[in-house]
A and B are shown apart, each in its own frame.
Chain A
Amino acid sequence: MIFAIFIPLLFACFVPILSKYKDKIHTGIFVLLIPFIIFLFFIPFIGSEFKPVYTSFNWIPSLDISLDFYLDGLSLLFVLLISGIGALVTLYSIFYLHKSERLGAFYVYLLMFMSAMLGVVLSDNVFVLYGFWELTSISSFLLIGYWHHREGSRYGALKSMLITVFGGLSLLGGLILLTVITGTTSIQEMIAQTDVILNSPYFSLIMAFIFLGAFTKSAQFPFHIWLPDAMEAPTPVSAYLHSATMVKAGIFLIARFSPIFNTSEWFFLIVSGIGILTLCWGSYMAVRQTDLKGILAFSTISQLGMIMAMLGFGTKAAIFAAAFHILNHATFKGSLFMIAGIVDHETGTRDIRKLGGLMTLMPISATLAFFGAFSMAGVPLPFLNGFYSKEMFFDVSLGLNEPTLLAADLLRQAIPYLAVLGSIFTFVYSMYLVFGTFTGEKHLDQLPVKPHEAPIGMLISPAILILGVIVIGLFPNLVNESFIAHTAEAISGKEVHKHIVFWHGFIPPLYMSLIVVIFGAGLYIYRKKWTDIYLFIPGQLSFNKVYDRFVEGLETYSAKITNSYMNDSLRRYVILIIGSIILFTFITMISTNGFAFHTNDLADFSITEVIVALVMAIAAVFTIFTRNKVAAILILGVVGYGLSLLFILYRAPDLALTQLVVETITLALFLLCFYHLPELQPRDESIGFKTTNGIISIGFGLLMTLVAVSSHSSKWFQPISNYFVENSKELGGGYNIVNVILVDFRGIDTLFEIVVLGIAALAIYGLVKLRYNKEAE
């Protein structure tokens, strides 16, 4: 099983080599083998005697992350869809993509996606699942942006990336919470601990996170907006990713976790509510589209909403219907996308307003499209699979348990009506899609290419899918016991038996279907009369606009916020730095009650010290207020010499000497640079700026005083200076304690201080000597 997952990824490494020969042989022919082999590998698992298969490989045992793969009915359905439709799509793409395209890149991305998708549906370990989940997002991003020279492709790719990765990250949050609560990373073991999860305080958070992940991936309302823009991808990609596989990853996730969640009424409320809303909104919006793939995109959205709603119902019959519809939708939607691609390929346009009357020119495509679209609409014909799942949908929407939550109960009562409403629009857009393209007037002069029937190779894949539609439609019980029943069992956790029959007798679901057909046909025929409704709903209110405005706003506002404090003014930065130091230190001081003040440890002071200190203080104040720069330099010197005087008074001869000489040198340097120093002119500064400066500087001075006083007042340990005094002679061999400390006890400090001096000198030398003229360059 692990090989089945990684074969596409491994094979992707050889695709670039094979694509070198693309002029002679189309790269897709090599690639075609891979999904076909996988499909053949998984086919034998179908059967009424199916038992889940489990394999495990160590990956990161210390984090309890291992490559656990679990094949049950649910995974089997998806695996067969992925590999089967994957093979058909590859076959289709051989004829769809010209050899002048970047075939190597295309098939590498496609195989990457295939691996990722197989990994998602087979993983039992939540983190492995998440890894594959993100790989689907990335490969989908690459595929949507395949024609990267187009603006629309890049926009669509970015949009889908942002939305699905947003959901993916929230999924990760949910999975981490699940892991923390249950203490395991295996999904099956989590399901075994359902009560622990249900009773945990994080339950609602987990549910919200996982639902966000699933809804964004499966294009549920209001995250559906990326899917129509993803139609910029090549059509095989749209057929594969955006109808059959990736958009069902969210469905898969909900189905996979539904044994845990479906006992909660919130599960019904959220999943079914969002699903039914998506169904109605998607089908309503699909009628408005003029692009063939746009119609199909919104149709996918609405069908996904329908599956989601059925999963939310949580009854056995509903789950069975959902599993059945996953299969049905993949067959007819994949074929419809391929036919849309054929139409695009053979006429040069996908705009339904320019198309029409293609039935006689492209009879095979037209026939296939009729079957696909009628199946999608759920027309009551005994050879179309869409009808069965639609009628099951109506059936289960009527047979819901009465929930206790008021909102859930309201939803339960509204669901049948909403289901019919959504289905009416589904009928309308299906008819619109097929009749708008293949019947009516011909506009041959408006088409860029003269239309003709597609090559036979291109028609094989949709034909096989339509064959599936008809076979399942004629013999629905063929896939029932052996296949779909296992899927439903895996989702619900209970044994499911169901017999699919076409004719139930005169029961409500049939009347609902008839209502759908009658109203749908009426609405389709008179569609010109009511299209003005779209001017009011949604009118200007589009979620695309919300998204665009959000993304733009994010950029402009973050730029504004950054520019508001990063204004390149050093003064501003100094204010910010000092201000935050003041703020945080004050807060720490107050919150830890750190201020202390004792007078019992103070030394006496003489009048000399007071005089020196006063002189220094006065000099410092003068330095601030003087307008003359020579005066400022000299007065600053007074402070320095005062300091060395203080050193003498406090009996630190080495310091005094050094301070004296250093002060002299600094003064000399200041005077050397005299001409380069800025003029001390009074600046035109606002009073606010000056007051801020004043407050900041006074605050900082105050703060430092407080810190100094407090630290002096709270001595917790004996100073270590006694050791130096006692040992400087014995150990260091000198009487000058300061010097012995500098060169002996703490020599390493001195070593690096002289290194600092050396670097400073070299830097000055470099700055002065290596000065390039900007003009000379």
Chain B
Amino acid sequence: MILRTTTTLIAFILFGFSIYLFLAGHSAPGGGFIGGLMTSAAILLMFMAYGHRAVTTILPINYRLLISIGLFIAVLTSVGSFLFGEPFLSQTFEYFYVPVLGEKELATALLFDLGVYFTVIGVSMTIILTIADDR
């Protein structure tokens, strides 16, 4: 009971932290890799607290598909540079004014990092769930 209650809290904190790590990666410690690991740690915690069935109903995610999606995003962003006549994997960035947050920098590298992020979640969850499901 204590575990479940705290998990509700901690899982959200972890999610938040992982998304922060992911977004902040470009200018502060963090990035897609560590962000993805943190997210999967949060999901894992939910698995441990609520059990397999409950979590799969809340988060009906096929993690193997997530790997493919992540790789797809990464490849797509790299190929995307061809559209602008640049070599493979050229990244660019621009500063945008976003109404609420003020002036913000958005880089295509972030999209690439998103691919990394998804892949890492997919990989770690696939490995852990497969091994845990066994026997």
A contact set with B: CB distance below 8 Å: 653-654, 657-658, 661-662, 664-665, 668-669, 672-673, 732-736, 738-740, 742-744, 747-748, 750-751, 754-755, 757-758, 760-762, 764-765, 768-769
State whether A733 touches B107 (Cβ < 8 A): yes
State whether B131 touches A754 (Cβ < 8 A): no
User: Given contacts A736-B28, A758-B67, is CB(A769)–CB(B130) below 8 Å?
Assistant: yes
State whether B122 touches A654 (Cβ < 8 A): no
Closest-by-CB residue of A relative to B67 is A758
6 residue pairs of the A-B complex, CB under 8 angstroms, read: A653-B29, A661-B38, A738-B31, A740-B109, A743-B31, A754-B74
Closest-by-CB residue of B relative to A751 is B74
Closest-by-CB residue of B relative to A733 is B93
Q: How far is the CB of A516 from chain B (nearest CB, A)?
A: 88
- Interface size, B (range): 35 or more
Task: State in angstroms the CA–CA spacing of A7 and B115 once bound together.
Answer: 67
10 extra interchain contacts, Cβ-Cβ under 8 A, other than A657-B29, A657-B34? A653-B29, A661-B38, A733-B109, A736-B26, A742-B31, A748-B88, A761-B127, A762-B64, A764-B130, A768-B130
User: Given contacts A672-B131, A751-B78, is CB(A757)–CB(B29) below 8 Å?
Assistant: no
Given the complex, which residues of A lie within 8 Å of B49, measured CB to CB? none
Task: State in angstroms the CA–CA spacing of A739 and B21 once bound together.
Answer: 11
Q: Does B30 contact A (CB under 8 A)?
A: yes
Q: Does B19 contact A (CB under 8 A)?
A: no
State whether A750 touches B116 (Cβ < 8 A): yes
State whether B119 touches A758 (Cβ < 8 A): yes
Given the complex, which residues of A lie within 8 Å of B122, measured CB to CB? 758, 761
Q: How far is the CB of A80 from chain B (nearest CB, A)?
A: 70
Q: How far is the CB of A188 from chain B (nearest CB, A)?
A: 59
Task: State in angstroms the CA–CA spacing of A681 and B115 once bound together.
Answer: 45
The digit string for B14-48, where 1 denotes a CB below 8 A from any CB of A, is 00000001001111111111100110010000000
Given the complex, which residues of B lie within 8 Å of A757, measured CB to CB? 67, 119-120, 123
Task: State in angstroms the CA–CA spacing of A755 and B32 once bound together.
Answer: 14
User: Given contacts A668-B128, A743-B113, A761-B123, is CB(A748)–CB(B74) below 8 Å?
Assistant: no
Contact of A758 among B30, B37, B113, B123 (CB under 8 A): B123
State whether B27 touches A754 (Cβ < 8 A): no
Task: State in angstroms the CA–CA spacing of A764 and B123 once bound together.
Answer: 10
Contact of B112 among A654, A747, A765 (CB under 8 A): A747
State whether B27 touches A654 (Cβ < 8 A): no
User: Given contacts A661-B38, A736-B31, A761-B122, is CB(A754)–CB(B132) below 8 Å?
Assistant: no
Task: State in angstroms the CA–CA spacing of A751 and B74 once bound together.
Answer: 7
Q: How far is the CB of B28 from chain A (nearest CB, A)?
A: 6
Q: Does B103 contact A (CB under 8 A)?
A: no
Given the complex, which residues of B lie within 8 Å of A672, measured CB to CB? 128, 131-132
Q: How far is the CB of B7 from chain A (nearest CB, A)?
A: 17
Given the complex, which residues of A lie within 8 Å of B89, measured CB to CB? 747-748, 751
Given the complex, which residues of B lie within 8 Å of A661, measured CB to CB? 34, 37-38, 41
Q: How far is the CB of A674 from chain B (nearest CB, A)?
A: 11
B contact set with A: CB distance below 8 Å: 21, 24-34, 37-38, 41, 64, 67-68, 70-71, 74-75, 78, 88-89, 91-93, 105, 107, 109, 112-113, 115-116, 119-120, 122-124, 126-128, 130-134
Contact of A743 among B109, B126, B131 (CB under 8 A): B109
Task: State in angstroms the CA–CA spacing of A23 and B113 once bound together.
Answer: 78
Ranked 9 nearest A-B pairs via Cβ: A733-B93, A734-B26, A653-B29, A735-B27, A761-B123, A761-B126, A754-B119, A743-B109, A757-B123
Contact of A765 among B25, B113, B124, B126 (CB under 8 A): B126
State whether A736 touches B64 (Cβ < 8 A): no
A interface, over-half SS: helix
State whether B75 touches A751 (Cβ < 8 A): yes
Closest-by-CB residue of A relative to B31 is A739
Contact of A734 among B68, B88, B109, B119 (CB under 8 A): B109
State whether A736 touches B120 (Cβ < 8 A): no
Q: How far is the CB of B117 from chain A (nearest CB, A)?
A: 10
Q: How far is the CB of B9 from chain A (nearest CB, A)?
A: 20
State whether B123 touches A733 (Cβ < 8 A): no
Task: State in angstroms the CA–CA spacing of A738 and B119 once bound together.
Answer: 19
State whether B26 touches A754 (Cβ < 8 A): no
Given the complex, which residues of A lie within 8 Å of B92, measured CB to CB? 733
Given the complex, which residues of B lie within 8 Å of A761, measured CB to CB? 64, 67, 122-124, 126-127
State whether B30 touches A739 (Cβ < 8 A): yes
State whether B26 touches A735 (Cβ < 8 A): yes
Given the complex, which residues of A lie within 8 Å of B109, measured CB to CB? 732-734, 740, 743-744, 747
Task: State in angstroms the CA–CA spacing of A285 and B124 once bound together.
Answer: 80
Given the complex, which residues of B lie within 8 Å of A738, measured CB to CB? 29, 31
Given the complex, which residues of A lie within 8 Å of B75, measured CB to CB? 751
Given the complex, which residues of B lie within 8 Å of A743, measured CB to CB? 26, 31-32, 91, 109, 112-113, 116
Contact of B27 among A657, A736, A769 (CB under 8 A): A736
Closest-by-CB residue of B relative to A675 is B135
Closest-by-CB residue of A relative to B38 is A661
Given the complex, which residues of B lie within 8 Å of A760, measured CB to CB? 123, 127
Given the complex, which residues of A lie within 8 Å of B132, measured CB to CB? 672
Pick the most buried of B27, B68, B113, B132: most chain A CB atoms within 10 A of its CB: B27
Task: State in angstroms the CA–CA spacing of A657 and B41 once bound together.
Answer: 13
State whether B29 touches A765 (Cβ < 8 A): no
State whether A732 touches B30 (Cβ < 8 A): no
State whether A744 touches B91 (Cβ < 8 A): yes
Given the complex, which residues of A lie within 8 Å of B130, measured CB to CB? 764-765, 768-769
Task: State in angstroms the CA–CA spacing of A178 and B28 once bound together.
Answer: 72
Given the complex, which residues of A lie within 8 Å of B74, measured CB to CB? 750-751, 754
Given the complex, which residues of A lie within 8 Å of B112, measured CB to CB? 743, 747, 750-751
Closest-by-CB residue of B relative to A652 is B29
Contact of B30 among A733, A736, A751 (CB under 8 A): A736
State whether A735 touches B91 (Cβ < 8 A): no
Task: State in angstroms the CA–CA spacing of A758 and B74 once bound together.
Answer: 13
Closest-by-CB residue of B relative to A771 is B134
State whether B30 touches A669 (Cβ < 8 A): no
Closest-by-CB residue of A relative to B116 is A754
State whether B131 touches A764 (Cβ < 8 A): yes
Task: State in angstroms the CA–CA spacing of A751 and B119 once bound together.
Answer: 10
Task: State in angstroms the CA–CA spacing of A211 and B21 once bound together.
Answer: 79
Q: How far is the CB of A644 from chain B (nearest CB, A)?
A: 12
Given the complex, which residues of B lie within 8 Å of A758, measured CB to CB? 67-68, 70-71, 119, 122-123
Given the complex, which residues of A lie within 8 Å of B27, measured CB to CB? 734-736
State whether A754 touches B71 (Cβ < 8 A): yes
Given the complex, which residues of B lie within 8 Å of A748, measured CB to CB? 78, 88-89
Given the complex, which residues of A lie within 8 Å of B24, measured CB to CB? 736
Given the complex, which residues of A lie within 8 Å of B116, measured CB to CB? 743, 750, 754
Given the complex, which residues of B lie within 8 Å of A732, measured CB to CB? 26, 91, 93, 107, 109
Contact of B124 among A665, A673, A739 (CB under 8 A): A665
Task: State in angstroms the CA–CA spacing of A674 and B126 once bound together.
Answer: 19
State whether A654 touches B88 (Cβ < 8 A): no
Given the complex, which residues of B lie within 8 Å of A658, measured CB to CB? 33-34, 37
Task: State in angstroms the CA–CA spacing of A665 and B126 once bound together.
Answer: 13
Task: State in angstroms the CA–CA spacing of A732 and B133 once bound together.
Answer: 42
Given the complex, which residues of A lie within 8 Å of B28, measured CB to CB? 735-736
Given the complex, which residues of A lie within 8 Å of B37, measured CB to CB? 658, 661-662, 665
Given the complex, which residues of B lie within 8 Å of A673, measured CB to CB? 131
Q: How far is the CB of B15 from chain A (nearest CB, A)?
A: 15
State whether A768 touches B32 (Cβ < 8 A): no
Contact of B29 among A662, A665, A736 (CB under 8 A): A736
Q: How far is the CB of A536 from chain B (nearest CB, A)?
A: 77
Given the complex, which residues of A lie within 8 Å of B41, measured CB to CB? 661, 664
